[in-house]
Chains A and B, each alone.
Chain A
Amino acid sequence: MTPFAHRHLLGIADLSANEIVQILDLSDTFLEISERAIKKVPTLRGKTVINLFLEASTRTRTSFEIAAKRLSADAVNISGSTSSTTKGETLLDTARNLQAMRPDVIVLRHTASGAPHFIAAHVDAAVINAGDGTHEHPTQALLDCATIRKHKGRVDGLTIAICGDIAHSRVARSDVLALGKLGAKVRLAAPRTMLPIGIETLGAEVYDRMEPAIEGADVVMMLRIQKERLDGAGLFPNTREYSRYFGLGLRMATHLKPDAILMHPGPINRGIELDPALADGTRSVILDQVTHGVGVRMALLYLLAGGSAEN
C-alpha cells in the first residue's frame, strides 16, 4: 500500500481514484469494528480531534465524534452557538487558539466556501473539510461511494442521477467529482435556476427534466431543498410545483430502473423531494449511508491523525 500523501482532506478534487479506493477499502475494514461487542480499538490513543462545526449538523458531527471515539481519540465538539465566533472572534483567531491547544485533527464545517483551506494554512493539525459553504463535502461523497460500492459491487460503469438543488449543494459537487474519478456516469437533474453555470465542466450530463435523468439510472440520489440557503431567492414558484416536477414521488418512481437504489444525504424534507414511502422502502439505502459514514471517517482519521504524510 502506498502511503497516503495528503496532510489534509480539503476536497475530493485533491484525491486520485486510487486514493479514493484506498479510503473505501480501509472504511470496509473499520466498519467491522462497529459490529463488535467492544466497539473500540486503541489506535489513536492520545490523539485529539476537534470537531469545529460553525454550521448546524447532527449527522456529520456525531459521525465524526463516534469515528474518533471508536479509534480511542479524544473528541472535543464545538458548535456555532457555543463558540466565541458568536462574540465576534474571527475564524483565524479561533483556529490559532485551537492550535495553541495542540490538537492532531481539526474537523471543520463552515458556511464559507474555502474556510478549511484557509485554516489549513494556519494550523499544524490535519484539517478535514466537513462541508464548506457550497463548495465541497468530501466525506459525504466518500460515504456515498462506499454505499454504492457495497450495494452494486462497483462504481465504475454505473449511471448515477443526482437530482435537486445542485447550485447550493456541496454534496453534489463532491459526488460528481468522486463518482467521476471512479468511472461512473453522472447525470444532474434540476430546474435551470438551480444549476450553477459551468457545471458541465465537472463532467456530468445535465438534464432540466427529471424523468429522462432517472430513466435507466442504477442509483438515484435526491438532494435536499436547502431552505436556509434559498432565503426567498425565488428559484422555483412554490414547493408543491417543485415537488411535482423535481421530487421523487410515487408517480415519478415509475420511471426508476427495477434495481435502482435511492440515496439522500439527509436531512430529508419528507414529501417535498422524496416521498416517505420511498424513503422507507426497500430501494432506500439512506440509513446505510449513515453507517458507512462512520467507517469512512474512521479511515480518514486513521490516515491523517498520525501526521505522518509527507509535507
Chain B
Amino acid sequence: MRRARKETPLVARRQLADSAAMARALRRMAHEMVEKNPDESLILVGIRSGGVPLAERLRGHIKEIAGAKAPELGAIDITLYRDDIFEGLPKPEVGSTELPSSIVGRTVVLVDDVLYTGRTIRAALDALMDFGRPRRVELAVLIDRGHRELPIQPDYVGMTEKTTRNESVQVALAELGAEDGVLLLERVRP
C-alpha cells in the first residue's frame, strides 16, 4: 500500500548565494583540495544529479591552479543504495554510474550540492566501495545546512547555513537549465 505523503508547497524566502558567491566558494574549495592533496591526481565523483556539474566546475578551477594535477571525473547514482527506496514513494529513476577505469588506491572526492541528513553520502560511500577500495574518500559540498542523522562530516564546504527542517535549500545551476544561485525555501502550511 502506498503511504500518502502530503507535499506542502515551497515558497522561496531568500537567496543565500548568487552566481559570483558560488564561483568564489568553488574556487576556494578547489584551492583547499590542491593544498590538502599536493602531487596527487584526484578523482572527483559527482553525486547525481546536482553534484555532477559541481564536480566538473571544481575540476575546471583545479586545472587553473599552477602546478596542480588535473583531476579525473566520475558520476555516481545512488538510487539502488538508498535506505528509503521502499518507503512507499514512487520508484525513483535509476541513473548510470560512470567512474574512471579504477578507483583502487586513489583519493576520491565525493561532490554534492547540499549536505543535509548525510544519508545520501552514506549511500554514495556504499556505492563507491562496490567499485573498489579507494585509498581515501573525502567529501565536498557546496552548502552544509545541518541536521545530520549520521556521523558524516564534509572535508570541503562552500558555505554553511543554519536552517530549520521546515526549510529547503536548492542549488540552481546553469548546467541544469537555471540561473546559478543558492535559494532558501520554506514549506508553508496551507
Contact = CB atoms under 8 A, between A and B. Distances in A.
Interface of A: 1-4, 26, 29-30, 32-33, 36-38, 40-43, 71, 302-303, 306-311
17 contacts: A26-B94, A29-B94, A29-B96, A32-B96, A32-B97, A37-B132, A38-B130, A41-B81, A42-B81, A42-B126, A302-B91, A302-B94, A303-B91, A306-B86, A307-B1, A308-B90, A308-B91
B10 interface: no
Contacts of A306: 85-86, 91
A33 B97 CA distance: 9
B90 A29 contact: no
A305 to B, nearest CB: 8
Contact of A43 (B81, B90, B131): B81
A82 B127 CA distance: 38
B90 A3 contact: yes
Contacts of B85: 43, 306
A1 B91 contact: yes
Contacts of A310: 2
B100 interface: no
Interface in B69-109: 80-81, 85-86, 88-97
A1 B93 contact: yes
Contact of A29 (B86, B91, B95): B95
A26 B93 CA distance: 8
A310 B88 CA distance: 10
Instruction: Name A's interface SS.
Output: loop
Contacts of B1: 307, 311
Contacts of A26: 94
B123 to A, nearest CB: 9
A71 B80 CA distance: 9
Given A1-B93, A4-B91, A36-B131, A308 B80 contact: no
Interface string B116-136: 000000000011001110000
A250 B129 CA distance: 50
A241 B97 CA distance: 52
A308 B88 contact: yes
A308 B81 CA distance: 17
Contacts of B93: 1
A302 B86 CA distance: 10
A207 B89 CA distance: 48
Instruction: Determine which residue in A3, A30, A40, A42 has the highest number of CB atoms from chain B within 10 A of its CB, and name it.
Output: A42
A1 B90 contact: yes
A311 B95 CA distance: 27
Contacts of B2: 308-310
Nearest to B89: A308
Interface string B148-160: 0000000000000
A37 B91 contact: no
A96 B96 CA distance: 39
A29 B94 CA distance: 7
Interface in B135-177: none
Contacts of B92: 1
Contacts of A311: 1
A8 to B, nearest CB: 16
A211 B81 CA distance: 51
Given A29-B96, A308-B2, A308-B86, A41 B80 contact: yes
Nearest to A26: B94
A40 to B, nearest CB: 7
Contacts of B96: 29, 32
A4 B89 CA distance: 11
Contacts of B88: 308
B149 to A, nearest CB: 18
A309 B1 CA distance: 7
A166 B147 CA distance: 61
Contacts of A41: 80-81, 127, 130
CB-based closest 8 A-B pairs: A3-B90, A306-B86, A41-B80, A43-B80, A38-B130, A1-B93, A29-B94, A308-B88
A76 B129 CA distance: 28
Contact of B131 (A30, A38, A302): A38
B130 A40 contact: yes
